[in-house]
Structure 1
Amino acid sequence: MSAGNFPKNTLKPDSSPDKKTVGGNILAVKLLLTCSILGLSIAALPRAIAVGVNRQESIQHITTEILTASLQQGRELYQSGRLAEAVKIWENTAREYENRGDILNQAMTLNYLGAAYQELGLWDMAGDAIDKSLNLLPQEASNTGSGKLILAQALNNQGSWQLARGQTEAALATWQQAEAVYSSAGNEMGMLGSQINQAQALQSLGQYRRAKTLLEELVAQMQGQPDSVLKAQGLRSLGVALQTSGDLLQSKEILEESWDISKRLGVVDDTSATLLSIGNIARDLRRDEVALSYYKAVEEMAVEPLLKIQAQLNEISLLIGQKPPQEIIQRSAQVQGQLERLSPSRFGVYAWVNLAESMMKLAAQESMQPNTTFDDAARNLAGLVLTTAVQQARELKDARAEAEAMNQLGQLYAQNRQWENAKEVTTRALVIAQGIDADDIVAQAAWQLGQILKQEGDIHGAISAYRDAVASLQSLRRDLVAINRDLQFDFKESVEPVYREFVGLLLQPMAGQNEVTQANLKEARGAIEALQRAEIENFFREACLPSKPVQLEEIDAQAATIHPIILADRLEVILSLPGQPLRHYTTNMSAGEVEAVLTHMYSALHPSYSDEERLSLSQQVYDWLIRPAEAELARASIKTLVFIPDGMLRSLPMAALYDGQQYLVEKYAVALSPGLELFPQGLKRRELQTLAVGLTEARQGFGALPGVEVEVNNIASEVNAKVLLNQEFTRTGFQNQMKAKPFGVVHLATHGQFSSNPEETFLLTWDDKIQVNDFDRLFQNRERGTLNPVELLVLSACETAAGDKRAALGLAGFALRSGARSTLATLWSVNDQSTAELMSEFYSQLSTKTAEMPKAEALRQAQIAMLKNPLYNHPYFWAPFILVGNWL
């Protein structure tokens, strides 16, 4: 069997025996690594009969064999998900070792306790156990082979604790120290675990490139080792880490290598676990038949019951909508019977919840069908399954598993419109999650509670719950973007809706009030800006964007910001005028209807459409965004409109909006911003030293741009410019110029594409493509402060990816990656000659010696000049040029 050649894509998490199956476990690899550390550190212990330690038994009667057996029993309980039972045994064992004065074994047992306490959310107890373990290890003990391994294990544990508590830099340093100790002990697998942990910390710090490099180095190291069970397990861990970092193709290759080794060695459950992971990749790449073949192989091969059950659960999830509902319910009932025969465990609880999710999905689907009773059958089965999951989690004293199951039960009640039960159960899940600092579950439960309270008409309560959900998402910010964009929390499904629904509640008057309060308007604006910043960070997979709250009047007393927000049931606009209270206005129209009009307007900007149709659509959008504010804009003597656009509005040229007589650009200078916090005031204008580069000849499958030479020469005639054309415009040549001189303006006239996928966002050079994720390397001297930042970056001849509604993220990505204060770019590829004329006029205006011309005003004057030219007065030729960032 082969996984086939999967297309490059993103994936969501799926269930595996190494990680939980529901909710948004942001640090999905953590449990796998913790289990691996435990397994590595006690793998050499003799296997003994599992005997518990009686607290009343005297120390004289407790033999070394019994203590060793207790450690092993705790390990087995831990690995099977029975964490509270493992803790009880290890607590007793640690006390007995302390009474004996056996420091090394006491320290080792405390390490196990530290790992288990972390999984149970007992953070203070975990920290105390780890600290005590480290304090017990004197220098002389840590120099022995076993002492070094225990010390390294304690450090790995401490790193996990630090990362979970938000001390990411400390965690990275601790894991580097653990790696050094494992190295001195000659333990290569321990080093591997520590290095994978370091990659996770680097991702959380937003250092995606360093993390990826480290993982690639680990792959090379592992592949050079002789085949063994440990190598197969290590490769599987690496495959999971690469999967979460977004490198699916390499993840698949590494997992297949692990599969091949474990299959040849005859390690059945290792082989099965790896096949399950590969199947998950196939499923999420929508290769359903391939995924089903893997799951079937696991079901037939695996010895471990939970592995078989997990494969069956994944099959059921895939087959909903493909097989008759009675077959799905029959299969689910069979899995239910298998689960009932297992001892309670955390993984069992997650399997119960997974089964319930499938039943709820089936019920929702069947409820849309006429004359069917399968929706009731599916809901009833889901209710029984979740009741069992909650009971087992309580038996296990596993607060995290209980919160997961309770939250899912609350969702079932909500699906059944049993609002009071839904509220009670979801509140309980939220309280439990908050008590163990499980921010991922808090975010889900608080969101769900907000939806329930909104349904009941308790808007104040709903806002409070949504505020908790948003706060949790903000605290998870680095974890949300440090992994593949669609892993764990799928951004579009599980993050963005929370913000939008929260903003929708804030922008409606409270009971007894006629208007939205200023406090709610400010909070709504802050929340939508936080969402937009999160979108860009999600684009980069890095949570490293600097932000600084600023007041509009501190930037420009004659500028207004217009913040349109597309909600499910309406379009809201927040208007900010310098020194005045915020105001907002509403158009009651569904998001689908708004997007349809915007998409139509985008198409109508092509010359093939009638002027009447184009102007009608442009006027309709003008009426939404500008018309209600016309009088206030005039009274405030506003000269510049700064749009912070949302959704499809990012791909539309605001300058082409039409009031019935004039285009917007004829009345105002126009700029765009991803958020004022991301673009504080630009640098003071200085003499324009310009680097102008471009391609005129066809390269790498892209057509020639003959007008570029005219464009670049015109620029050189207007300002002091260094020119690189064709063969001179190589990646290296461009980078050398950027390092050598403090260019205030960088003009790139070349093919390029903006996309919502960073891998498809690039600029073309003579010999290469510059991806957006590499763009900062070309500007690194400016990042280090050795040269002034670029004030204006011009991206000429680039275009947005066809059909990509979020392609403007790529444009913002280039702007932010370069560190430029402003970026001038085009939304679509425009006629060479018209571009040359517009750019020549733009630079002529910008370099005027009579007054300091704002960049937005220089662009406006250039666009008006095009409007007066009969050849190019159609918006198609002048409207796509947009200024992103600081407009002064």
Structure 2
Amino acid sequence: MIPRTFAKQPQTNSPAGFYTQTTKPSTTTPQQLVSQGEVLYQSGRFTEAVTVLQQAVRIYQQEGDNLAQAAALTNLSLVFEQLGSWKEASKAINNSLNLLGWDNTNQKLNVNNPKSELLEVLAQTLEIQSGLQLSQGQADVSLKTSQISEQIWKRLGKQYNIGVTRSRINQAQALRVSGFYRRSLDILNEVSQHLQTQPDSLEKVTALRSLGNVHRQLGDLEQSWKNLKHSLEIAQRLQLPLETSLTEFSLGNTVRDLGNIKDAIAHYENAALIASNPLTKVQAQINQLSLLVENEQVAQAKTIIPTIQSQLATVPTTQAGIYARINFARTISKIGNKKDIAETLANSVQQAKNIGDERAQSYALGSLAEVYEQNNQWQDAQKLTQQALFLAQKIDASDMAYRWEWLLGRLLKAQGNIEGAIAAYDTAVATLQSLRTDLVTVNREVQFNFRDSVEPIYRQSVELLLQQKGQGKPDLDKVRKRIEALQLAELDNFFREACLSNQFVVLDKVVDRDRPNTAIFYPIILDNQLEVILKLPNQPLLHKTSVVNHQQVEQAIAQMQETIVQPDANNKFQVVSQQLYDWLIKPVASELKNSRVNTLVFIPDGSLRNIPMSALSDGKEYLVQKYAIAISPGLQLFTPKPLAQKRLNALAGGLSQPPRNEKFAPLPNVKVELELIQQSGISTTILLDGNFKSTTLGKTINAQPFRIVHLATHGQFSSKAKDTFILAADKRIYVNELDSLLKSREQKRTEPVELLVLSACETAQGDNRAALGLAGVAIRAGARSTLASLWQIGDDSTALFVSEFYHQLTTGKTTAEALREAQLKLLSSSQYTRPLYWATYVLVGNWL
């Protein structure tokens, strides 16, 4: 929410102050009327505020006081905006600007040597106009208006810095709504830094809240919570009920994303209780409702539906008000009366038309089409979808268009038009790929979840493509590229930005031309089948299907994860390991044998990333006993080069004793592990314990071209970037910092790190997509290969593994072969024969 403060009246007559009396005495001055209007505005009594402000405008007009009249009109516009009276709001603001001599077309002031009083009112008027423009969905225009406002405040001098601050916040808000979150964050960081030394104020409250909202949308939830908490404390101290309710609402959203349902509901309830603004009240109630529905607390959800319905009747017909109605209808689509939902959405379509908001109209039409889809009214749904899509494309709202393209694909599929459905899904995917980083920064009012709103598009598209029998068989190359596009989108979502822009080499070329002993596996989890596409050297793609639903596959993966690390669950592990082998490997086992390949590169889909393929068993042997195994995050990778071409050197860092503030166990054998690398014949620089700090690591890694970086320290891989880190003596090094740690190296040296080894790391417990973090680390570190552990094991077996792995590297083995030999060494020893010890290690990226 932009700082919506009343424009100050020019002090040409007696000074204006707050006027708390609610009945107008006969001697009321226009200044007192404006003050009374402000009190009414702050308490949410907008209709009454309009009446007294219109009276003030008439008096100023009679007195011929253009400046004061302009200021009163500006404030009147602000109140009309809250009522959803767009025409009246625009008319009032334009009349104000005309009185001030502002040329709206050319964006300039037609007044020679304007006085500071006029410039002050003009700056305030442009501020409020920028808010009006933003509320009407004109973010670009709003940004320009607030930039002009900022320049006028600067022209007025340092005593008007608070005006500059407000204009900067307005710009940040406009950038945020447009999806430019980084730029918005930069502005807000500057603003909040400036405000730290300033006394508490409305602007400080707003800046901190805006900062918190941007941090939430960038995925930095802890920082979001801190800023919002600070904003709330100041708003409560200053007794600003409107601001308090808005910040409580934002806190509810952040705490919800943190997974704290109870506290999120409490914040939403507080926001609704305090809110003087009916819109804020109902938005908080709708978010509370969606949280209850999401967590299947249907009985409790149904108790607040009538309250929301009665509140919605009082909400103004603004863009935000229309979105509130649409989101309410979407939230209750599974538990409410379909007729009522359709009626609410149809009304929203009309309201959006009335205010000329094509974006809101598209959102309402598409949502209504989804209700018809649920009722199997395919043709009616299709007609509405095409209308929604036309509007979204007309206004270039790609973040909405892809949803209606997806809906169109579903509707065509339901009507048996497979070719048409494929074309619609292709368009949806193309739109998604054009969005890239904007995927995670879609319109703030539109409900969005990657797992629900993006991932199914790719999987359903693949199902359709596999049904296509063009020229006798499906286009397998298109299928695997479609799944890779999903994996790329997952990583973008993980980092909250488009992360892959390097030039890579296609794996097929490497296999066909350089490494004819390698096969590439593409397992794909679909609703009712597990697909395997296999690339063998110099052969066309193979395709096999196991008829098994995704719940069974996910359950088997979860059981394998669970039993592989349990000392007394070996029999259960063997059963589930063989089951997964039968689905993934057995259908192509004879082709693999006949091709004489010795290395398998997996591009695992979804939660298949979380299990070590090396531990799949045919009942007699593990896969690692037949093949060297690696993982690739996609169809392409850094230009692969064999590691053993030149003399190897390594930077080896480790932490045997974690910092006191971290709840990690000591790693007493780390020193031995690092010394073993040295003893293998590799030139090694060691950073141990106190020397293993993030700063020292950064300096040392850039001092010379290390080909191997080995880090023996605690770490965690998670599906969230904020929970993915490695531990140094001074701090946690998060995945987003890895690239900056290696940035100066990239500037000085053209070659990336050849091999990054992360021992003693583990995947986050209870996170079924945790290995996404490992792929994220591999990409962010910019290494050709990353070798990491999926779970922690004993120091003794780690030392044995490390010794054998580096010995094999020095003999000229590929990285994948060296990994296999080290795993087989553990497997052949009576002490470490179980997969618990050797299967934890996975190689991501270049296997040469």
TM range (shorter): 0.7 to 0.9
Contact 1:463-1:506 within 8 A present in 2 as well = yes
Q: Counterparts of 1:316-715 in structure 2 under 5 Å?
A: 316-317=289-290, 332-333=305-306, 335-340=308-313, 344-363=317-336, 378-481=337-440, 489-510=448-469, 514-516=472-474, 518=475, 521-548=476-503, 550-557=505-512, 558=516, 559-606=518-565, 608-609=567-568, 613-682=572-641, 685-697=645-657, 700=660, 701-715=663-677
Of 718, 730, 733, the residue aligned with 2:693 is 730
Question: 1:419 Cα shift?
Answer: 2.2
Cα distance in 1 for partners of 2:531, 2:323 equals 40
CA distance in 2, matches of 1:633, 1:90: 74
Please state how far the C-alpha of 1:828 moved relative to its aligned partner.
1.8
For 1:207 and 1:629, locate their aligned partners in 2 and report how far apart those are by CA, in whole Å: 47
Taking a change above 3 Å as real, the CA distance of residues 497 and 578 of structure 1, as seen in their structure-2 partners, is same
Name whichever of 440-449 and 338-347 sits farther off.
338-347
Cα distance change, pair 853–279 in 1 and its aligned pair in 2 (3 A): closer
Distance 1:664 1:484, change over 3 A: farther
Question: CA–CA distance in 2 between the matches of 1:845 and 1:164?
Answer: 62
Asked whether the equivalents of residues 714 and 840 of structure 1 are also in contact (C-alpha less than 8 Å), the reply is yes
CA separation in 2, counterparts of 1:142 and 1:675? 63
Q: 2:816 aligns with which of 853, 856, 880?
A: 856
Task: State whether structure 2 residue 772 is matched by structure 1 residue 798.
Answer: no
- Cα offset for 1:662? 3.3
Amino acid at match of 1:461: G
Q: Which residue of 2 aligns with 1:828?
A: 791
Query: Is residue 120–residue 153 contact of structure 2 (8 Å, CA) maintained in 1?
Result: no
* Structure 2 match to 1:19: none
For 2:244 and 2:748, the matched residues in 1 are separated by: 51
Q: Judging changes above 3 Å, is the alpha-carbon distance between structure 1 residues 453 and 145 closer, same or farther for their aligned structure 2 residues? A: same
- Counterpart of 1:498, as a letter, is I
* 1:877 counterpart = 2:837: yes
2:722 to 759, 763, 766: 759
Offset of residue 886 of structure 1: 0.8
- The 2-side partners of 1:580 and 1:323 are apart by 50
Cα offsets for 1:366-415 (capped at 9, x unmatched): xxxxxxxxxxxx22321222222122222222211211111121122222
Could you say if the C-alpha distance between residues 844 and 260 of structure 1 is closer, same or farther in structure 2, counting changes exceeding 3 Å?
closer
Q: Which amino acid aligns with 1:704?
A: P
Distance 1:492 1:323 in 2: 18
Identity %: 40
* Aligned-pair CA distance for 1:708: 2.9
Tell me, in whole angstroms, the C-alpha distance in 2 between the residues paired with 1:63 and 1:200: 30
Cα distance 1:462–1:536, how it changes in 2: closer, same or farther (>3 A)?
same
Q: Which moved more, 1:804-813 or 1:722-731?
A: 722-731
Structure 1 pair 776–44 and aligned structure 2 pair: CA distance change class (3 A): farther
Quote the residue 1:304 is aligned against.
277
The residue that corresponds to 1:133 in the other structure is: 107
Query: In 2 relative to 1, CA 40–594 (structure 1 residues): closer, same or farther, beyond 3 Å?
Result: same
Q: 1:275 to 1:801 in 2, by over 3 A?
A: closer
| Separation in structure 1 between the aligned mates of residue 657 and residue 363 of structure 2, nearest angstrom | 59
Deviations 1:444-482 (A, max 9, x none): 222222222222222222222222332333233213346
Q: Deviations over 1:132-175 (max 9, x none)?
A: 538x8999999995699599979999x999x99999xxx99999
1:328-379 CA-partner distances (Å, limit 9, x unpaired): 668545544554456533233223223323432323xxxxxxxxxxxxxx22
- Which of the numbers 841, 859, 862 marks the counterpart of 2:804? 841
Tell me, in whole angstroms, the C-alpha distance in 1 between the residues paired with 2:93 and 2:146: 24
| DSSP-derived class of the 1:476 partner | helix
CA gap 1:355/1:598 in 2 versus in 1, 3 angstroms: closer
Q: 1:643 Cα shift?
A: 0.5
CA distance 1:43–1:698, shift in 2 (3 Å): closer
The verdict on how the C-alpha distance between 1:216 and 1:836 changes in structure 2, with shifts beyond 3 A counting, is same
Compute the TM-score of the two structures, normalised by the length of structure 1. 0.77
Listed as ranges, the gaps of 5+ residues in structure 2 are 11-30, 35-51, 56-63
TM-aligned CA deviation for residue 790 of structure 1: 0.9
- Residues 1:484 and 1:770: Cα distance change in structure 2 (over 3 Å): farther
Is contact 1:207-1:542 (8 Å) kept? no
SS of corresponding position for 1:803: coil
Counterpart CA distance in 1 for 2:214 and 2:801 is: 49
Distance 2:150 2:279 in 1: 32
Counterpart of 1:783, as a letter, is E
Residue 711 of structure 2 corresponds to residue 748 of structure 1: yes
Compared with structure 1, are the counterparts of its residues 325 and 847 closer, same or farther at alpha carbon in structure 2 (3 Å cutoff)?
closer
Note if 1:721 corresponds to 2:678: no
Among 768, 776, 779, the alignment partner of 2:742 is: 779
Residue in 2 that maps onto 1:5: none
For residues 735 and 291 of structure 2, the distance between their equivalents in structure 1, rounded to whole angstroms, comes to 35
Choose between structure 1 and 2 for higher RCO, CA contacts under 8 A separated by at least 6 residues: 1
Residue identity in the other structure for 2:497: E
Deviation at 1:605, TM superposition (A): 2.9
* Equivalent of 1:811 in 774, 793, 798: 774
Q: Does the aligned pair in 1 maintain the 2:648–2:683 contact within 8 Å?
A: yes
Aligned counterparts of 2:246 and 2:82: Cα–Cα separation in 1:
14
After the TM superposition, which of the residue ranges 611-620 and 492-501 deviates more from structure 2?
Answer: 611-620
Query: Is the 1:156–1:194 Cα contact (8 Å) retained in structure 2?
Result: no
Q: Does 1:106 align with 2:103?
A: yes
Counterpart of 1:423, as a letter, is: Q
**CA 1:221 to 1:501, structure 2 compared with 1: closer, same or farther past 3 Å?**
same
Aligned to 2:103, what secondary structure does the other structure show? helix
The offset of 1:880, in angstroms, is 1.8
Residue-by-residue CA offset, 1:298-333 (whole Å, 9 max, x unaligned) = 545443333343344445445659999899668545
Structure 2 counterpart of 1:468, which letter?
Answer: T
What RMSD over aligned residues (CA atoms) do the two structures have, in Å?
Answer: 4.4
For 1:453 and 1:331, the matched residues in 2 are separated by 37
- In 2, Cα distance between equivalents of 1:583 and 1:82: 62
Match of 1:789 among 737, 749, 752: 752
- Distance in 1, matches of 2:673 and 2:300, equals 66
The alpha-carbon distance between structure 1 residues 214 and 720, as it changes in their structure 2 partners (threshold 3 A), is farther
Moved more, 555-564 or 633-642: 633-642
Distance 1:221 1:814 in 2: 35
5+ long unaligned stretches in structure 1: 1-31, 52-60, 111-131, 364-377
Instruction: Say if 1:752 and 1:799, in contact at 8 Å, map to a contact too.
Output: yes
Q: Under a length normalisation based on structure 2, what TM-score does the superposition of the two structures give?
A: 0.81
CA distance in structure 2 between the aligned counterparts of 1:485 and 1:722, rounded to whole angstroms: 49
Contact conserved, 2:705 with 2:749, CA < 8 A, in 1? Answer: no
Q: For 1:776 and 1:697, locate their aligned partners in 2 and report how far apart those are by CA, in whole Å.
A: 26
Q: From the superposition, tell whether residues 312 and 882 of structure 1 become closer, same or farther in structure 2 (CA, over 3 Å).
A: closer
1:110-125 to 2 correspondences below 5 Å: 110=105
Q: CA deviation at 1:872?
A: 2.8
